[in-house]
């Protein structure tokens, strides 16, 4: 799964010389929370989020009347508040690497640049969540299998063979060693299987903490 599949293509953009008031209006009108900022030559120079707008507005306007407030919002430019040189990814970046970058840098979106440095999209937290739902297969509402298995070559194949032996069709397989006993991995699979009780029984003969549930 690549970023290109999940990003929003051709995102709405503004320029550094646009006002804070303009950004607020665009976000409300288009129902978006982040706007990439492009220079006159069309290159990415920053990004502005709704959080940036909220952070700066009260500090500049707490003692102003409504007319003064409109004046300040119109005078203040995005160049003054935007995040410069934001983290970016390419369309070919694996979605999981983009998610890791967002988590490590504590950011909610990533502008997507092509090989020439042109903005071609934006990836948001919502896009990553949708990719996760697809990757796990949870939207299919089928049978969910979870268990602990030995962290060694061939163990996942053993589980898959048992599932297929019970007539199961596998849609997704995920595994992790996070928060598991030493030498173990947690495996989560989603499959289509009508013999749930028989599958649970067969898996329990070989693996521990077996759970087989239908959505």
Q: How many CB atoms lie within 10 A of CB 76?
A: 19
pLDDT at residue 157, rounded to an integer? 93
pLDDT at residue 36, rounded to an integer? 98
Please indicate, yes or no, whether residues 75 and 150 belong to a single structural domain of this protein: no
Please indicate, yes or no, whether residues 150 and 201 belong to a single structural domain of this protein: yes
CATH code for position 84: 3.10.580.10
pLDDT at residue 72, rounded to an integer? 62
The C-alpha angle 176, 143, 212, rounded to 5 degrees, equals: 70
Say yes or no to pLDDT of 160 above 70.
yes
pLDDT at residue 52, rounded to an integer? 85
Please indicate, yes or no, whether residues 148 and 181 belong to a single structural domain of this protein: yes
Residue 143's domain spans which residues? 139-214
> pLDDT (tens digit, 9 = 90+) per residue, 191-207?
998 889 999 999 999 99
Indicate the number of domains in the chain: 2
Among the candidates 77, 110, 133, a domain finishes at 133
CATH code for position 180: 3.30.70.260
> pLDDT (tens digit, 9 = 90+) per residue, 66-93?
445 555 666 789 998 999 999 999 999 9
Among the candidates 105, 133, 161, a domain finishes at 133
Q: Which of 102, 98, 83, 6 is nearest to 45 (CA)?
A: 83
Please indicate, yes or no, whether residues 107 and 159 belong to a single structural domain of this protein: no
Q: Give just the sign of the alpha carbon dihedral 131, 28, 59, 87.
A: positive
Among the candidates 87, 109, 133, a domain finishes at 133
Please indicate, yes or no, whether residues 47 and 112 belong to a single structural domain of this protein: yes
Please indicate, yes or no, whether residues 57 and 95 belong to a single structural domain of this protein: yes
């Amino acid at each position: 799964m690549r970023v290109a599949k999940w990003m929003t293509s051709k995102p709405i953009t503004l320029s550094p010389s646009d006002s804070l008031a303009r950004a607020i209006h665009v976000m409300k009108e288009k129902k978006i929370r982040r706007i990439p900022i492009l220079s006159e030559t069309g290159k990415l120079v920053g990004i502005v989020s709704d959080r940036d707008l909220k952070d700066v507005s009260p500090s500049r306007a707490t003692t102003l009347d409504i007319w003064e407030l409109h004046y300040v919002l119109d005078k203040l430019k995005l160049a003054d508040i935007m995040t410069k040189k934001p983290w970016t990814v390419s369309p070919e970046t694996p979605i999981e690497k983009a998610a890791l970058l967002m988590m490590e840098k504590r950011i909610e979106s990533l502008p997507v640049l092509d090989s020439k440095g042109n903005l071609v999209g934006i990836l948001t937290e919502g896009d990553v969540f949708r990719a996760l739902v697809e990757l796990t297969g949870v939207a299919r509402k089928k049978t969910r299998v979870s268990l602990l298995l030995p962290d060694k070559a061939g163990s996942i194949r053993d589980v898959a063979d048992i599932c297929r032996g019970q007539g199961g069709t596998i849609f997704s397989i995920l595994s992790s060693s996070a928060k598991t006993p030493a030498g173990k991995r947690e495996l989560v699979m989603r499959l289509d299987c009508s013999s749930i009780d028989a599958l649970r029984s067969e898996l329990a003969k070989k693996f521990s903490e077996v759970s087989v549930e239908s959505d």
